[in-house]
Structure formats: structure tokens, C-alpha cells
Amino acid sequence: MGLALPAYAWLKERFRRHQSASTLSENQVTTVGQVLHLAIQGSPTGITVMDRTGDVVLSNARAHELGIVHERTVNNDVWRVVQETFDDKETHALDINSSANPRRPGNRVTAVQAVVKPLTLIDDRFVIVYATDESENVRMESARR
């Protein structure tokens, strides 16, 4: 009996490792971090996480399309609001129009609304920016559906 429990624990751990290895070889998502990363990258909302120095920790393609981030640099208007958020730890909203961001390719998006808030209330090192396309074209498309 004294040898059975350690042998069982070893066998159970070996089986778990084998399952993990086979999961990796099948190209499946294996960690919560990978799931969250894929969820952010596939989101129709522009999402950007940044730190106090302005370094972009994570951003998705939609944030780039909406002009929130360009080559890991945050839009000046957004950065101003990010600094306010770091200072007062409150949620802030801002409207960005396309004339303020000439780098946006195609300029199809004409009105972007961004919400800037602390990532967590416990750790004040990061903020998250959620950006959505609020242009008339998008509203008309939504109403038509």
C-alpha cells in the first residue's frame, strides 16, 4: 500500500504529460493564455493594452485599423487620455475622428469611440483601450440587418 500511492501519482503525471504532448502535436490551443490571446486577436472591437511608459503590450488588428495604434505607437489623443487614466484610475471615453488620424488606410472609418480604463483595480501598471467604429456607415449597416 505504501508503494501504490507514489506509483499511482507517477503514472497519473506521466499520462497527463503524454496527453499534453499529443495535444501540442495536434496544433490545439493548450493554455488559457493562448485562448485569451486568440480571443483578443479575433475581436471585432479594437483592443490595446499598454503600460505607463506607453509601450504597447498587446494590440489586435482592429485597433490598428481604427487608428488607435500605429506600429506599436499609440495615437496622441489616446495617449493623453491613457495618462489621465493612470493618474486618476477612472474610466474615460473619447471620440476620435478620421481627420485627426491621416495614417489610417482607406479612411473608411470616420468616427471611433474609445474607452480607456485600468486593466485591473489591483495592479495599476496597465490600462486597456477598447475602440469601436461608430461611423454612420456602420450604424446604417447594423440597422439594415
**Banded pLDDT at 8 (limits 50, 70, 90):** confident
| Residue 99 shares a structural domain with residue 60 | yes
Q: Which amino acid is at 59?
A: S
| Residue 7 shares a structural domain with residue 66 | no
* pLDDT higher than threshold 80 for residue 78: yes
Domains: count for the chain: 2
pLDDT of 60:
95
d(CA 121, CA 123): 6
Share of the chain above pLDDT 70, in %: 72
Determine the structural domain holding residue 109 and report its residue range: 32-144
Q: Which residue has the higher pLDDT, 29 or 32?
A: 32
pLDDT of 5:
63
Q: What is the pTM of this model?
A: 0.70
Taking alpha carbons only, the member of 134, 74, 135 closest to residue 103 is: 74
| Residue 98 shares a structural domain with residue 62 | yes
What's the pLDDT tens digit per position in 112-124? 999 999 998 888 8
Find out whether 137 and 108 touch, Cβ atoms under 8 Å.
Answer: yes
What's the longest Cα–Cα distance across the chain?
Answer: 76
Sheet holding 92-97, edge to edge: 56-59, 46-51, 126-133, 111-118, 92-97
* Averaged confidence pLDDT in the chain: 81
* DSSP E strand boundaries for the chain: 46-51, 56-59, 69-70, 73-74, 92-97, 111-118, 126-133
What's the pLDDT tens digit per position in 42-60? 999 999 999 999 999 999 9
| Residue 110 shares a structural domain with residue 75 | yes
| Residue 66 shares a structural domain with residue 127 | yes
| Residue 98 shares a structural domain with residue 138 | yes
